[in-house]
Structure 1
Amino acid sequence: MTTDLATPMLLGCDFSSSPSRRKPIVLALGQRVATRVQLRGLETFDTLDGFARRLAQPRAWVGGFDLPFGLPRALVQALGWPLQWHACMQHYRRLTRAQIRDQFAAFCDARPVGGKFAHRATDAPAGSSPSMKWVNPPVAYMLHAGVPLLLDAGVHLPGLHPGDPQRVALEAYPGLLAREILARRSYKSDDRAKQTPDRLIARKDLVHALEMGQTRLGLRLKLSHAQRDALVDDASGDRLDAVLCLLQAAWAQQRHAAGDALYGLPQGLDGLEGWIVTA
């Protein structure tokens, strides 16, 4: 596979709001030629500062990031926060995690059973958790930690906020692509006791399907033997999740190359809530 240096690098990010050596942020790097996506490497970051420095580097890229880029409009309206995305995010970043938890919990407590959380329009087609959840998974804290890094790096957020057109960040969700292949089979766990042979087999099946191009994205993943082993052997699924985000970024890049300024995001997306790419 030849490399076109004029083609922007692709990034796929499995994000952590509290990265550590044990649970780092994982960044998959790749490049697309036609419908083939070559995995170039994997990088890890055990601090938010280190990841921020990586985002600020001048190399052109299109990236898919596994963290929410916006909050539900119903939540923002109920709390009386700014209804313009950038102003809302600037308000949000100034809050502590404790303040976020308390305000979101009070919002939920005032709502009926079965409808405690507010949802974004993208949640239903993507099958994603509400971006206001602060536990299991704590995606509200991921937004709180991650979006300010993207803003400070000056990247372009299609449909939300203009920035450097050479560095384009999109909200991705690996579970969306994984479910297309595995349905409800689980392929990962951070709990060693749950890192079972069935989950290992699921990771093998998932990687094989990606290499064969057996998804609606119409892209084939190109791996070396060592890369394939690394993805399959990572029982946490973090490396594989980064690669799933990489493929979603590749699909978006392909849409943009065909003339879509929004990188495949819907034309009528809510500019406060954002949208998960490929949903």
Structure 2
Amino acid sequence: MQLIGCDFSSSPSKRKPIVLALGQARQGRVQLQALQTFDTLSAFGQWLVQPADWVGGFDLPFGLPRELVETLGWPTDWAACMDHYCALERPQIREQFAAFCNARPVGGKFAHRAADKPAGSSPSMKWVNPPVAYMLHAGVPLLRQAGVHLPGLHAGDVRRVALEAYPGLLAREVLGNTSYKSDDKAKQTPERLLARRELLSALERGQTRLGLRLVASNALLGRLADDASGDALDATLCLMQAAWAQQQHEAGHPQYGLPPCDPLEGWIVTA
């Protein structure tokens, strides 16, 4: 079974592409085999639609908070909600979400999904720093058009299984709140390089609650450490989460390790 970890971008480019980590798992070891990049959404969509057998962890939200959806009067069926949401333009999303936040008290501006707290993730309605609302808007249509299976949300081709992943969940387990990446060249410091190396070392030793060890060539490990943006490393963290999910599936878990969850909001794998 091919395993995929995806560091997604809602506006990919040659400078900031979508990054895939490709690998396989066996006996508690996750072998990172290759890194692949896409600098357009259409190129990534063309890759997704190809017939294949894989389980993937994708670093983008697959759903919106139920509280937000109900307050805005949008459909509460996941597919109908995504149809409505993805038909909007980004300025419309920003305007409606900003109005929602402005009507709420300081400290509680955003609505959250149930998975956000255990995962430590940003609310999926956030449109800046990071713009995860736009990542959902760009990414979920590609997954749906490709006909992939989204456990707990949408039945599709069970040979291609997409799970919402979040690399920060695994990184924080090792590093706490120490930063290991930045897109800002001025912040690509030796300290962040050391943090990436520390994180990689922990993954190689299997020192996370996933109980899985990362295996990779020295060349690939060097690329993960040297990528100051952290994109390749984030894709690899998603690969580790996909490997854990596949392990749960092989052990008989019907939803790849996801707990029973709100079928509108979805869940973040390993949270």
Unmatched 5+ stretches in structure 1: 1-7
Q: Which amino acid aligns with 1:79?
A: L
Residue in 2 aligned with 1:214? Answer: 207
Give the 3-state SS of the residue equivalent to 2:100 in structure 1.
helix
Residue in 1 aligned with 2:130? Answer: 137
Match of 1:36 among 29, 35, 43: 29
Shift of residue 261, structure 1, vs aligned partner: 1.0
d(CA) in 1 for partners of 2:43, 2:133: 21
d(CA) in 1 for partners of 2:132, 2:96: 15
Q: Which amino acid aligns with 2:8?
A: F
Unmatched 5+ stretches in structure 2: none
d(CA) in 2 for partners of 1:10, 1:54: 14
Residue in 1 aligned with 2:45? Answer: 52
d(CA) in 2 for partners of 1:169, 1:276: 11
The reply to whether residue 182 of structure 1 matches residue 175 of structure 2 is yes
d(CA) in 2 for partners of 1:170, 1:71: 15
The reply to whether residue 274 of structure 1 matches residue 243 of structure 2 is no
d(CA) in 2 for partners of 1:40, 1:19: 23
d(CA) in 2 for partners of 1:133, 1:15: 16
Shift of residue 59, structure 1, vs aligned partner: 1.2
Alpha carbon RMSD of aligned pairs, Å? 0.4
Residue in 2 aligned with 1:159? Answer: 152
d(CA) in 2 for partners of 1:49, 1:233: 28
Shift of residue 244, structure 1, vs aligned partner: 0.1
Identity %: 74
Residue in 1 aligned with 2:139? Answer: 146
Q: TM-score, normalised by structure 2?
A: 1.00
- Deviation digits for residues 68-108 of structure 1, max 9, x if unmatched? 00000000000000000011001111000000000000000
Q: Which amino acid aligns with 2:76?
A: L
Aligned length in residues: 271
d(CA) in 2 for partners of 1:200, 1:40: 22
Give the 3-state SS of the residue equivalent to 2:25 in structure 1.
strand
Residue in 2 aligned with 1:69? Answer: 62
Match of 1:199 among 178, 183, 192: 192
Shift of residue 242, structure 1, vs aligned partner: 0.1
Match of 1:85 among 62, 78, 82: 78
d(CA) in 2 for partners of 1:236, 1:40: 20
d(CA) in 2 for partners of 1:112, 1:182: 32
d(CA) in 2 for partners of 1:190, 1:137: 12
Give the 3-state SS of the residue equivalent to 2:179 in structure 1.
coil
The reply to whether residue 122 of structure 1 matches residue 115 of structure 2 is yes
Large movers: runs of 4+ above 3 Å: none
d(CA) in 1 for partners of 2:139, 2:165: 13
